[in-house]
Amino acid sequence: MPLVERLKLTEQPAVDPNLTQRHFAGTVGTVSIDLLMNGVDPRCGTDRIGTDAATLAGFIAIRKFAPDLVINAGTCGGFQARGGCVGDIYVSEGDCLFHDRHIALPGFALQARGQWPVTPAKHLAAAMGAKSGIVSTGNSLDTTPEELAFFAHYRVAAKDMEACAIAQVCGQCGVPFIAVKAVTDLVDHPEPASEAFLRNLRTASALLSESMERGIRWLGAHPRRVGDL
> Which domains does the chain possess?
2-223 (3.40.50.1580)
Closest by CA to 19, choosing from 5, 1, 36, is 36
User: How many percent of the chain have pLDDT more than 90?
Assistant: 98
Query: Residue 70: its pLDDT value, please?
Result: 98
For 94, residues 6+ apart whose C-beta sits below 8 A from its C-beta are: 117, 118, 134
Q: Distance of CA 71 to CAs 67, 117, 150, Å? A: 10, 13, 25
The angle that helices 51-65 and 163-173 make with each other, rounded to 10 degrees, is: 30
Distance between CA 183 and CA 84 in Å, rounded?
8
**What pLDDT is attached to residue 112?**
96
Give the pLDDT mean for 57-78. 97
For the stretch 120-176, pLDDT in tens is 999 999 999 999 999 999 999 999 999 999 999 999 999 999 999 999 999 999 999
**Tens of pLDDT, residues 77-111:** 999 999 999 999 999 999 999 999 999 999 999 99
Q: Are 34 and 14 in contact (CB under 8 A)?
A: no
Q: d(Cα 229, Cα 226) in Å, to the nearest integer?
A: 6
Percentage of the chain beyond pLDDT 70 is 100
Give how far Cα 175 sits from Cα of 58, 118, 171, 199, Å.
10, 10, 6, 35
Is 96 in contact with 163 (CB distance < 8 Å)?
A: yes
Q: Confidence band (pLDDT; 50, 70, 90) for 182?
A: very high
pLDDT band at 189 (very low <50, low <70, confident <90, very high): very high
Half-sphere exposure of 96 (CA within 13 A, CB side): 31
Question: At 3, is the pLDDT very low, low, confident or very high (cuts 50, 70, 90)?
Answer: very high
Q: How many CB atoms lie within 10 A of CB 23?
A: 21
Say what the pLDDT of residue 7 is.
96
* Lowest-pLDDT range of 97-101, 112-116, 191-195: 191-195
Average pLDDT score over the chain: 96
Confidence (pTM)? 0.96
